[in-house]
């Protein structure tokens, strides 16, 4: 494996990968996580000061990777300028991975491919996925703690919670699957979707890994019926109908262009898709469209808001549009342009699955229980 400098206070893999943002990361060893992004299979681990990584397989050419990354760089640069992020202190990392040597070094896996691009590209992809250059969490945690005593309490135990920069296509269809569901079942659905309609990347330790399907592959008339047979229920219809509508609007390019719209406009565009309401639209805006002021308000966050911030809402029997917007606006005023990031820390801190891990994190094992994604 290779490594880059990255303090655990800036990135905690457990909270960032299992807190309900994404559903394709799996613990493959005592301290290792394996998942897929940027057309590669990654195995990650960490200690207090370093992030360790190994890369398996790639389904894209160098030119495609470079072109995509340059577009992403422009989008993120524009976003940081818009939010005044240039003054924020960024995490300083080396431009290329450092090879680990010594008796603990494992032999390269038989399926590991030698990329023609330098390893600096893999490091750049890794830093981009975890937004390591977007902001320093230590700095922002201090600011958010000054503004909110509840955040300050959570920040003591829940350091290193990062918003992932996910692919919008995967993020959108994954959250359609999240409706009235738990993380274990969502993960199962997403893997079935990939195995059925995604291109195979490679095999690692006997497990096959597939790309997330392209939008067009989900538009065939047989998709809904096939997904129902696989246990997707009513979500099968929403997946197929949304894929068809996205294709009519311009395909994945249409989704990427939503990054350049103001937050409210991007959210309004998403809500026109079948199976996507305000909460799911905000999840997509926050986790894959770079609208970091987005606040997904589910029943869980509603309860947190009532108990700690907006007690006058306790008599509300449901999260109406008015209540939803009031909670979102409150957190945006409290935390600023990166309100969605701060809100995610509060969300993780209040999850029962992390209560034991926050005090005994050395075990790095979340409780084996099904956690429902609040609607």
Q: Which of the pair, 20 or 62, is modelled with greater confidence?
A: 20
**pLDDT tens, position by position, 84-99:** 543 333 333 333 455 4
**Token code pair at residue 73:** 């760089």
Residue 155 lies in a domain: no
Q: 115, 135, 155: which is the final residue of a domain?
A: 135
CA gap 316, 306 in Å, rounded? 10
**Secondary structure (DSSP) of 193-261:** HHHHHSPEEEEETTEEEEPPPPGGGG-STTHHHHHHHTT-TTHHHHHHHHHHHHHHHTTHHHHHHGGGS
pLDDT digits (tens, 9 = 90+) for 248-292: 999 999 999 999 999 999 999 999 999 999 999 999 999 999 999
Q: CB neighbours (10 Å) of residue 254?
A: 16
Q: Specify whether 217 is located in the same domain as 103.
A: no
**Residue numbers annotated as active site:** 279
Q: Are residues 114 and 226 in the same domain?
A: no
User: Same domain, yes or no, for 98 and 33?
Assistant: yes
Answer with the residue of higher pLDDT: 224 or 66.
224
Look at residue 214 and tell me if it is in a domain.
yes
Token readout for 87 is 């003054």
- Full-model pTM: 0.83
Q: Please tell me which residue, 102 or 118, carries the higher pLDDT value.
A: 118
Residues 22 and 69 in one domain: yes
Q: For residue 341, what are the CA distances in angstroms to 54, 152, 232, 279, 319?
A: 27, 14, 30, 15, 21
d(CA 274, CA 265): 17
**CATH value at residue 7:** 3.30.310.40
Residue 13 lies in a domain: yes
Interval 122-144: pLDDT, tens: 999 999 999 999 999 999 999 99
* Distance between start and end Cα atoms, the chain: 39
Tens of pLDDT, residue by residue over 309-359, are 999 999 998 899 999 999 999 999 999 999 999 999 998 887 766 765 544
What pLDDT score does 355 carry?
Answer: 63
Cα–Cα distances (Å) from 313 to 113, 282, 302, in that order, read: 55, 21, 9
Identify the bridge partners of residue 5 per DSSP, sorted by sequence position.
50
Residues 122 and 175 in one domain: no
Burial of 96 per CB tally in 10 Å (0-12, 13-18, 19+): middle
Other CB atoms within a 10 A radius of the CB of residue 88 amount to 16
Chain centroid, CA 46 distance in Å: 18
Q: What's the domain range around 262?
A: 168-356
* Together in a domain, 210 and 352: yes
CB 157 within 8 A of CB 180: no
Residues 328 and 276 in one domain: yes
Q: Which of 74, 84, 30, 32 is nearest to 53 (CA)?
A: 32
Nearest-10 Cα torsion for 263, 269, 272, 275 = -60
- 22-32 pLDDT, tens digit per residue, is 999 999 888 89
Same domain, 198 and 334: yes
Give dist(CA 192, CA 172) in Å, integer. Answer: 16
For residue 145, the Cα-to-chain-centroid distance in whole angstroms is: 23
pLDDT value at residue 364: 44
From 135, 156, 180, give the residue that closes a domain: 135
Count the domains in the chain: 2
In a domain, 293, yes or no: yes
DSSP string, 24-92: --EEEETTEEEEEETTEEEEEEE-SSEEEEEEEEE-S-HHHHHHHHHHHHHHHHHHHHHTTGGGSPPPP
Indicate if 88 and 179 belong to the same structural domain. no
CATH number at 308 reads 1.10.340.30
In a shared domain, residues 131 and 211 = no
């Amino acid at each position: 494996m290779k490594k880059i400098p990255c303090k655990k206070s800036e990135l905690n893999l457990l909270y960032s990968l299992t807190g309900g943002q994404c559903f394709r990361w799996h613990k493959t060893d005592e301290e290792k996580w394996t998942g897929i992004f940027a057309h590669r299979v990654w195995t990650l681990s960490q200690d207090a000061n370093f992030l360790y990584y190994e890369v398996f397989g790639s389904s894209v050419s160098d030119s495609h990777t470079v072109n995509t990354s340059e577009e992403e760089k422009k989008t993120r640069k524009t976003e940081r300028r818009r939010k005044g992020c240039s003054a924020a202190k960024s995490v300083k990392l080396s431009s290329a991975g450092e090879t680990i040597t010594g008796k603990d070094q494992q032999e390269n896996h038989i399926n590991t491919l030698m990329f023609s691009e330098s390893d600096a590209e893999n490091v750049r992809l890794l830093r981009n996925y975890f937004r390591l250059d977007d902001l320093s969490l230590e700095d922002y945690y201090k600011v958010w703690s000054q503004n909110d005593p509840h955040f300050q309490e959570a920040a003591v135990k829940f350091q290193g919670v990062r918003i992932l920069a996910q692919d919008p296509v995967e993020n959108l269809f994954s959250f359609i699957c999240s409706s009235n569901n738990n993380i274990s079942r969502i993960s199962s659905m997403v893997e079935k979707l990939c195995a059925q309609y995604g291109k195979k990347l490679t095999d690692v330790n006997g497990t096959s890994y597939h790309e997330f399907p392209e939008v067009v592959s989900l538009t065939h008339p047989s998709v809904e019926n096939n997904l129902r047979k696989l246990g997707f229920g009513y979500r099968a219809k929403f997946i197929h109908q949304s894929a068809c509508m996205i294709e009519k609007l311009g395909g994945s390019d249409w989704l990427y262009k939503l990054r350049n719209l103001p937050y409210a406009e991007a959210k309004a565009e998403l809500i026109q898709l079948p199976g996507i309401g305000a909460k799911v639209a905000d999840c997509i805006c926050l986790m894959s469209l770079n609208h970091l002021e987005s606040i997904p308000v589910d029943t869980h966050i509603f309860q947190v808001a009532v108990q700690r911030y907006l007690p006058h809402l306790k008599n509300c029997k449901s999260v109406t549009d008015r209540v939803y917007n009031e909670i979102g606006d409150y957190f945006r005023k409290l935390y600023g342009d990166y309100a969605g990031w701060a809100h995610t820390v509060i969300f993780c801190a209040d999850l029962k699955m992390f209560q034991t891990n926050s005090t005994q994190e050395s075990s790095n094992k979340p409780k084996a229980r099904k956690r429902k994604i609040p609607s």
